[in-house]
Amino acid sequence: MKIKVLVAYASRYGSTQEVAEAIAAALRESGLEADLEPMRKVEALEEYTAVVLGAPIYMSRWHKDARAFLSRHREALTERPVAVFALGPFHDKEEEWKEVRAQLDKELAKFPWLTPIAIEIFGGKFDPEKLRFPDNLIARLPASPLHKMPAIDVRDWTAVRAWANKLAAQLQPAFPQ
């Protein structure tokens, strides 16, 4: 039986979805089966050997669909390997990445039954022209770190693919085919 992985994502503006797509593609290239679904559409996990969960950080919180997904699928998630990623910082400042990792860890700590086999942060994408309410208002506040910030995309596709390849290598010996 082939290893079948669900890559489930939450995304407001599509950048996390694109990372989830790249992860699913890399898993397939490694010989695994991989389905890609928005978290809110996933009803059952029974057919999956493992689950990859990806969602952006907004206002220091992991996207609410991710938190809801963890609550909804608690039982199934305790029975299979789970890997987690988040999108976040816009700059390559080490401090910023550490802070975002701490934000994600804090969110995950609310689900103490969850023991991910991998946790990773990939950089984020920001386009002020695409922001919808209320993000567009937040970005206009002079006190906001997004105030007058130009469009930027620091997602590291090499790191994304490397993470997915490592994940495939972790899963393959755990579920010999």
Ligand X SMILES: Cc1cc2nc3c(=O)[nH]c(=O)nc-3n(C[C@H](O)[C@H](O)[C@H](O)COP(=O)(O)O)c2cc1C
**Half-sphere exposure (CA, 13 Å, Cβ side) for 156?**
16
Minimum distance between the CB of residue 94 and ligand X, rounded to whole angstroms?
A: 14
Nearer to ligand X, 15 or 49 (CB): 15
Minimum distance between the CB of residue 175 and ligand X, rounded to whole angstroms?
A: 29
Cβ-in-10-Å burial (0-12, 13-18, 19+) of 102 comes to exposed
The residue number with the shortest CB distance to ligand X is 88
Nearer to ligand X, 60 or 71 (CB): 60
Nearer to ligand X, 75 or 95 (CB): 95
Q: Which residues bind ligand X (CB under 6 A)?
A: 11-16, 56-60, 87-89, 100, 124-126, 131, 135, 138
Number of helices followed by number of strands (H, E) in the chain:
6, 8
Q: Let me know: does 33 contact 6? Beta carbons within 8 Å.
A: no
